[in-house]
Amino acid sequence: MRVKDSIKLSFSILRANKVRTFLTSLGIIIGIASVIIIMSVGAGAQSLIINQISSQGSNLLAILPGASDKNGPPSSVLGIVVTTLKYEDAIAIKNEIPEVFAISSYNSGAGTISYQNQKSDATYNGVMADYVNVEDAELLLGRFFTQDEERGNVKSVILGYQVWQDLFDGQDPIGKQIKIKKQFFDIIGVMKERGTVAFQNKDNVVFIPVSTAQNIMLGINYVSAIRIKVDKAENVDSVKEQVRLLLRDRHNIDNTGVEDFSVMDPREAIDILKTVTNALKFFLAAIAGISLLVGGMGVMNIMLASINERIREIGLRKAIGARKGDIILQFLLESMSITILGGIVGIAIGAAVSFLVAVIARYLGYNWDYVVTPSSAIIGIGVAVLIGFIFGIYPAQKASKLDPIEALRYE
């Protein structure tokens, strides 16, 4: 009965001071809501990229420059320039591994693309003639470049759908010329609309032969990636091993040497993505959780102030038989009630904001999952209880140590 009576008294005191209770719990509300939003939005963004990678098929392989291990991605993924992968590697893979259905190397740059008085800021991709087969891309107008054009430094270009709209407003551009930086290119095709994949707008891009990208636009002799489409999904593991052995031989890597490239299938890409995004997600959540400590200190401050306001009440309760443990329990329940109420409101706000983000993302065409799990709500309440206990224990002990006679004399 003592616990039940203490709970009733705690809620009656909190109801009598509604504004102070709300302001005290505000730090907890903000902290819990921030953590819920970060975890939910992070999980939604993660699901978006994973869904898009998975939708591209299970018979793809990606080759990236630089070694990788089980603990992380290749250094090239982190923005470090690695020059070990060559266009000739892609040609050798295509010629020597029969299960390779299509292959393309990739280089890219950014710049202003213009036609007469119209301009568009877009990315230009240097790719191989097999690009359309690797990416399952389709042309709306014209044609893609040939293997001879791929190797011949030809200034031909295929426009992405958005670039076409920006520069030509839907008019036929075939045979006309655009300017990319200081170079003029003949338009030979327009891609069908593809949308955004893994946060990359596939329509705000133009495609040029890889030799042109390397020798004329970028002045380099390496590629940033190679993608392979295998003829059958069941051959992926076999092709992956063949590619490894072929590249080790081409790069003069002996049996004990560390590979200067990474061959990945979609499963490995997803695992690495989860590792990176989870680390980032929990790091941001930990930063947001700092506000919970601030909220906890606010609770302790208010509880200490409450003791000074209720000294006579504490003295009276001790005079009529309340034990030290009863006083501690009373103040702990009050502090924990404040943080629990703040936790519940914070979870509700976090879930609502996360739902709104998911709705907006889906409206914009992203395959975004709304992720707020019961476990995250339970953890949120548990954290609120813990904060209430930790930051309430000192005021509770201070209240329990008051001398009843001195307390009753207090004015």
- Single residue among 264, 295, 324 that ends a domain in this structure: 264
Indicate the pTM of the whole model.
0.61
Confidence of residue 93 (pLDDT cuts 50, 70, 90): very high
User: Are residues 249 and 372 both part of a single domain?
Assistant: no
How do residues 270-291 score in pLDDT, each as one tens digit? 676 777 777 777 777 777 777 7
User: Are residues 244 and 176 both part of a single domain?
Assistant: yes
User: Are residues 172 and 245 both part of a single domain?
Assistant: yes
How do residues 390-407 score in pLDDT, each as one tens digit? 887 877 777 777 666 665
Name the CA dihedral angle for 284, 289, 290, 293, rounded to a multiple of 10 degrees. -170
User: Are residues 355 and 218 both part of a single domain?
Assistant: no
Q: Can you give the pLDDT at residue 373?
A: 74
- Judge whether 345 and 25 are in contact, CB under 8 Å: yes
Tell me the mean pLDDT in the region 93-122. 89
Give the integer Cα–Cα distance in Å for 75 and 85: 13
Confidence of residue 1 (pLDDT cuts 50, 70, 90): very low
- Is 65's pLDDT higher than 80? yes
User: Are residues 136 and 238 both part of a single domain?
Assistant: yes
User: Are residues 125 and 206 both part of a single domain?
Assistant: yes
User: Are residues 182 and 284 both part of a single domain?
Assistant: no
| Number of domain units in the chain | 2
User: Are residues 13 and 149 both part of a single domain?
Assistant: no
- Judge whether 263 and 243 are in contact, CB under 8 Å: yes
Confidence of residue 70 (pLDDT cuts 50, 70, 90): low
Q: Can you give the pLDDT at residue 358?
A: 85
- Single residue among 238, 264, 290 that ends a domain in this structure: 264
User: Are residues 332 and 277 both part of a single domain?
Assistant: yes
Q: Can you give the pLDDT at residue 13?
A: 62
Confidence of residue 71 (pLDDT cuts 50, 70, 90): low
The neighbour count for residue 351, using CB atoms within 10 Å, is 19
- Single residue among 264, 296, 314 that ends a domain in this structure: 264
**Residue with the larger pLDDT of the pair 358 and 187:** 187
For the record, the structure tokens of 13 come out as 């005191």
Q: Can you give the pLDDT at residue 44?
A: 78
Sign of the Cα torsion 69, 72, 73, 77 reads negative
Best-predicted range by mean pLDDT among 100-114, 294-308, 353-367? Answer: 100-114
Listed range (1-15, 56-70, 370-384) with the worst mean pLDDT: 1-15
Q: What percent of the chain has pLDDT over 90?
A: 21
Name the CA dihedral angle for 302, 303, 305, 311, rounded to a multiple of 10 degrees. 160
What average pLDDT does the chain have? 80
User: Are residues 69 and 45 both part of a single domain?
Assistant: no
Q: Domain limits at 204?
A: 59-264
